[in-house]
């Protein structure tokens, strides 16, 4: 039997292994985790009040100048409660975090949360109707965007930020941007 014929005999096996590997990977991927459409694009323009002082308003320039995490949270979101302590730790380490309060039950409740649990955010934006969140493509809370010094979205993390995914994924991106 020639070498070519032998090779052709193994084609179905190779196809099968390829398909099996593809499907196996699918088993371990989370279909609820969507890629952000904003990666590599500038942050959308917005006008939002400060959660403590609604008369003070911020626009997208708040997210420029240095790398920053934009953390989307709300008091109705249990996972946000779970990650809050870790965000406090990151803030203590000097990580820049801006909060985006997303459709919370009330401003007072959100302020109370920050006063009780600690405030890891340099500023917290109050998105009462969730309209700015739509511009960011937010589809749940918590979500955390990594934004570079030029205001370009570099990464979007869905779900809680914890020590494991911070060290494995988020920190290398964030500190990589800071080193630039």
Measured from the CB atom, the residue of 16 and 175 that comes closer to other proteins is 16
Does 158 sit near other proteins (CB under 8 A)? no
Q: Please give the C-alpha separations between residue 34 and each of 31, 144, 157, in angstroms, as whole numbers.
A: 7, 13, 9
Q: Which of 61, 76, 38 is nearest to 123 (CA)?
A: 61
User: Using CB under 8 A, which residues numbered 82 to 111 contact other proteins?
Assistant: 103
Note whether 17 and 125 are within 8 A (CB).
no
Pick the closer one to other proteins by CB: 22 or 53. 22
Token pair recorded at residue 75 = 């008091």
- Per CB under 8 A, contacts with other proteins among 127-146 are 129-131, 134-137, 139-140
- Shortest distance in whole angstroms from residue 11 CB to other proteins: 10
Site string for other proteins, 25-64 (x = CB under 8 A): ------xx-xxxxx--------------------------
Query: Count of CB atoms within 10 A of residue 73's CB?
Result: 27
Q: In what order do the strands lie in the sheet with 68-73?
A: 123-127, 97-102, 68-73, 143-147, 153-158
Q: Which is nearer to other proteins, 14 or 134 (CB)?
A: 134
- Is the distance from CB of 170 to CB of 157 less than 8 angstroms? yes
For residue 94, the minimal CB distance to other proteins (Å) is: 31
Q: Kindly state the tokens that stand for 74.
A: 């709300």
Q: Distance (Å, rounded) from C-alpha 69 to C-alpha 35?
A: 17
Q: Which is nearer to other proteins, 89 or 103 (CB)?
A: 103
Q: How far is the CB of 139 from other proteins (least distance, A)?
A: 4
Comparison of 8 and 17: residue with beta carbon closer to other proteins: 8
Q: What residues make contact with other proteins under the rule CB under 8 A?
A: 31-32, 34-38, 103, 129-131, 134-137, 139-140
């Amino acid at each position: 039997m020639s070498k070519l014929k032998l090779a052709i005999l193994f084609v179905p096996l190779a196809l099968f292994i390829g398909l099996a590997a593809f499907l196996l990977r699918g088993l371990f991927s989370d279909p609820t985790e969507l890629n952000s459409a904003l990666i590599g694009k500038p942050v959308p323009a917005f006008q939002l009040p400060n959660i403590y002082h609604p008369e003070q308003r911020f626009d997208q320039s708040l997210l420029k100048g240095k790398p920053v995490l934009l953390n989307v949270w709300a008091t109705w979101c249990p996972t946000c409660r779970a990650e809050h302590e870790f965000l406090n730790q990151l803030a203590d380490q000097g990580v820049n975090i801006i909060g985006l309060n997303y459709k919370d039950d009330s401003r007072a409740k959100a302020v109370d949360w920050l006063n009780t649990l600690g405030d890891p955010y340099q500023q917290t934006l109050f998105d009462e109707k969730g309209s700015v969140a739509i511009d960011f493509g937010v589809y749940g809370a918590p979500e955390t965007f990594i934004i570079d010094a030029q205001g370009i979205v570099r990464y979007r993390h869905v779900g809680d930020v914890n020590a494991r995914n911070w060290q494995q994924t988020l920190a290398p991106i964030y500190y990589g941007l800071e080193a630039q």
